[in-house]
Structure 1
Amino acid sequence: MKKLLLALAFASLASVASAAPVNKTCPVGSRPARTDITVTHKGEEVALCCNNCKKKFEADPAKYEGNIKKG
């Protein structure tokens, strides 16, 4: 039972770690991105600077995906 709980704990930590945004600059507004405002795009978390930019990105992600600077 302890091994199962330990395995589940590690699995949940791995999923949290992989959910970190891939960018530091908002692909819509070109301002510093906030880690608490994100969208999932093509399996990756993309951070945005504000909720207005989030709405714009969600409405037309193809328009902004070239602006996603990973790193």
Structure 2
Amino acid sequence: GALRGAPCLFARRFWPELAALSGDVGGRGVLRRHAADAAAIAATGHELRDLDTPEQWTAFAPDVGPR
């Protein structure tokens, strides 16, 4: 089976539901409620890194090299 996790991309139609979340709960509940709308994308390596802040991106960027 597929392993679900970060990063997770949500279509714009889910943004109001995500914006209504409080605390550090993430979008897991939204994803669970709309599981039929989800699609798994095969990925390995750097694309699986969870970057939530500019500081995390700055620390990560040297790992992926120039663009």
TM bucket normalised to smaller:
under 0.3
* TM-score under structure 2 length normalisation: 0.26
* TM-score under structure 1 length normalisation: 0.26
Larger radius of gyration: 1
Instruction: From the two aligned structures, give the one with the greater strand fraction.
Output: 1
